[in-house]
Amino acid sequence: MDAHSFLKALATVLCVAGVTTVLFHRLRLPVVLGYVLAGMVVGPYVPIPIDADHTIVSTLSELGVILLMFSLGLEFSIRKLVRVGPTAGLVMIIEVSCMLWLGYLTGRLLGFTPVESIFTGAIVSISSTMIVAKTFAEKRPDKQHAELVFGVLVFEDLMAILLLAALTALSVGSLSASALLSTMGRLGLFLLGLGVLGILLIPRGLRYIASLGSNEVLLVTSVGLCFGISLLAQALGYSVALGAFLSGSLVAESGEGKRIEPLVHPLRDLFGAVFFVSVGMMIDPSVIVHHAKEGAVLTVIVVVGKILGVSLGAFLTGHSIRASLQAALTLAQIGEFSFIIASVGYTQKATGAFLYPLAVAVSVVTALLTPLLSRAAVPFAMYVDRRLPRPLQTFVALYGSWVERLRKQSITSRTGVRRLVGLVAIDVLGLALLAICASVGARRVDTLLLGGRALTPVVAKVAIALLALALSLPCWIGLVRSARQLGQVLAARVIPTPTAGSGSAQSAPPVDLGAAPRRALALSLQLLVLLLAGAPLLAFTQPFLPSMSSYLGVLLWLALAVLFGVAFWRSAQNLLGHVHAGAQAMLESLAAQGTASSDDAHSHSAPDAVLPSLLEGMGSWATERLQDGDPSIGKSLAQLNLRGLTGATVLAIQRLDGGVAAPGAGEVLRAGDVVVLAGSAASLDSARKLLRESHHSQDESGYEFFAITP
């Protein structure tokens, strides 16, 4: 490679990309599409007499990935990663496991080989950090949304590294549990060592360099550090993207991230454009046309599967419907890691040549859909919230505050929780081992038949499946039982059960006013535990199972989901009755306090004393008095859409002429109303602003998060 070849490739790419992006910007289309089109123009598959050296462009595109991940790390420090880690990690487990299973099953239905189906599952599992960053650059998200999305993306990248290690071993026929565990252990040591040494050395060094007052020196040092750690990660067998992100997070710990970020942005944008051009160069239109049906099916699987997986995982971990759907629609695409996974299968001759361009085509289509889906997230969340049945609306409004309270529980008091989690893990490992052993036994049937056995292949395989099912029954029973106990224990920590001494009389049992919300929370947590245990089990044992056994496993999980769904619906209905009773108690207490304030300044203590027990399980709640001139006066709750926009719900409305318990959507607010709100702390703050502010409110990042329509 000489200097003239390098200059020619770079000039060709940037000139063509400049023309296409200007065109797409004028047409108000995503500029990413312009980059991809430029790649097709300069690529080898489109008969246009403009070409660029793909090797040089691919090398430059690697710089785009590194600089983009470094920029993301600057905005997402290690402290933030630790804070959102538990939630983002759980969401990633549910989402990636579901996508691995859906991708494998779809591949088999499309006629792919088992190995090609495994690669297909991995390809559709990992979202694109590049695409999401581009979308957020055009319209900055609110802080909570950005932290959740980038947290999930980081954990997805870590999972992608494990998948790459496993798939590389599978390509050469040496996939084993020991190799996978070794890879996970080495990755953990790398992250721990780099994190400890980086925290000790990098922030202090950068603070000293920043004190010199030279932006040039600061930029060169920071980018050099980024490339150095990326090279170290690659030398140890990991992705340069992971090294770049970690270097950005370590630099952010110095407190100079806001100063370094604008210095890096021009470099990031330039080489990020080259990355998308390189993607376009790999698209062969003839292969895509020939496999258009497969591409369309995989596109639907990516969009629908990720929306369902991310939204369900995010909601069960305590986020509102709006936040969950917003994150899900933002992550409904695949990208750079999908290309790498597909290239591993192609270069190792483990998959057909069609899978790589198919992955690129699906990535391009989903990338184009991402900005549209992201903009539609809030209206879609409002639409879903308005059409939920009333019991589910009540549950959704309270669930976030329950999970928020659960997160504040002391870790030192969770010995029983750790024991139950260990039992769940043991049952899952037992089921996985039985599935693998049954698969190995079924594959040896032919050998036994050749030795003169009297069994036919079908009878032998059915016998092995029945034997494995019988042996797995204790594990299934133990898993369901442990999940049930774990949900009950965690729910009791949020909504404690009354003790024997809390009754009105010493001999009478106490009245359990929190039974209904505690049961609804327990069932939700049980579903979360089963998802966290069952989704990875189903995803990673699927390739080892015969088709019939895998379908039976899916039916078994669906049966469990139906049983939990029926039980949950009943508990949600009971919860609605509990909320009505609590709202009525709240109105009576407010009325009593109003009367007491006019008669006796001290007589209102009794209502205050009994109110917490009457509202047991209602989560966090607050009151807001509406004044003349507030923009919410004269509007119905349906017009405000308070629950859909903020996640909080209106328990009651206290008025001079009487109150309204659990008001409906048509209730119109008046001046002097005392509105009783329930929800998480963040949703209560947003609800207060919505009731009192008429302009488009913005968070600290400047992103609109609600608005009152006239």
- Residue 464: phi and psi, rounded to 5, are -65, -40
Give 176's pLDDT tier (boundaries 50, 70, 90). Answer: low
Is it the case that residue 112 has pLDDT exceeding 70? yes
Q: How confident is the model at residue 442, as a pLDDT? A: 60
The average pLDDT across 196-220 equals 88
Q: How confident is the model at residue 509, as a pLDDT? A: 56
Residue 435, classed as helix, strand or coil, is: helix
Q: Which residue has the higher pLDDT, 191 or 302?
A: 302
Tens of pLDDT, residues 589-639: 777 766 554 444 333 333 444 455 556 666 677 788 888 888 888 888 878
Is it the case that residue 29 has pLDDT exceeding 80? no
Q: How confident is the model at residue 396, as a pLDDT? A: 84
Q: Which residue has the higher pLDDT, 346 or 444?
A: 346
Residue with tokens 């001079």: 656
Q: Of 74, 94, 437, which Cα lies nearest the Cα of 257?
A: 74
Q: Are 221 and 231 in contact (CB under 8 A)?
A: no
The average pLDDT across 519-528 equals 88
Give 103's pLDDT tier (boundaries 50, 70, 90). Answer: very high
Residue with tokens 């106990």: 485
Is it the case that residue 700 has pLDDT exceeding 50? no
Residue with tokens 């991310």: 310
Residue 459 identity (one-letter amino acid): V
Tens of pLDDT, residues 335-374: 777 877 887 788 778 888 888 888 888 988 888 888 888 8
Task: Work out the widest C-alpha separation in the chain, in whole angstroms.
Answer: 98
What distance in Å separates the CA atoms of residue 654 and residue 669, rounded to the nearest whole number?
A: 10
Tens of pLDDT, residues 509-518: 566 677 888 8
Give 472's pLDDT tier (boundaries 50, 70, 90). Answer: confident
173 sits in the region (left: phi over 0; alpha: psi -120 to 50; else beta) called left
Strands 660-661, 674-678: parallel, antiparallel or unpaired by DSSP?
Answer: unpaired
Mean pLDDT for the chain?
78
Tens of pLDDT, residues 543-598: 776 665 566 666 777 777 788 778 888 888 888 887 887 777 777 777 776 655 44
Pull the structure tokens for residue 408.
């504040």
Q: Are 395 and 520 in contact (CB under 8 A)?
A: yes
Is it the case that residue 62 has pLDDT exceeding 70? yes
Q: Are 345 and 9 in contact (CB under 8 A)?
A: no
What distance in Å separates the CA atoms of residue 672 and residue 654, rounded to the nearest whole number?
A: 9
Tens of pLDDT, residues 482-507: 888 988 888 888 888 776 555 544 55
Residue 86, classed as helix, strand or coil, is: helix
Strands 674-678, 649-654: parallel, antiparallel or unpaired by DSSP?
Answer: antiparallel
Tens of pLDDT, residues 372-429: 888 888 888 888 877 888 888 888 888 888 888 887 775 445 667 888 888 888 988 8
Is it the case that residue 12 has pLDDT exceeding 50? yes
Highest-confidence segment of 109-123, 144-158, 352-366: 109-123
The average pLDDT across 297-313 equals 93
Is it the case that residue 198 has pLDDT exceeding 80? yes
Q: Of 67, 384, 54, which Cα lies nearest the Cα of 245?
A: 67
Tens of pLDDT, residues 122-147: 999 999 877 787 777 767 777 778 88
Is it the case that residue 76 has pLDDT exceeding 90? no
Give 19's pLDDT tier (boundaries 50, 70, 90). Answer: very high
Q: Of 558, 674, 682, 659, which Cα lies nearest the Cα of 625?
A: 674
| Residues of the chain above pLDDT 70, percent | 81
Tens of pLDDT, residues 649-661: 888 888 877 778 7
Pull the structure tokens for residue 129.
């950090």
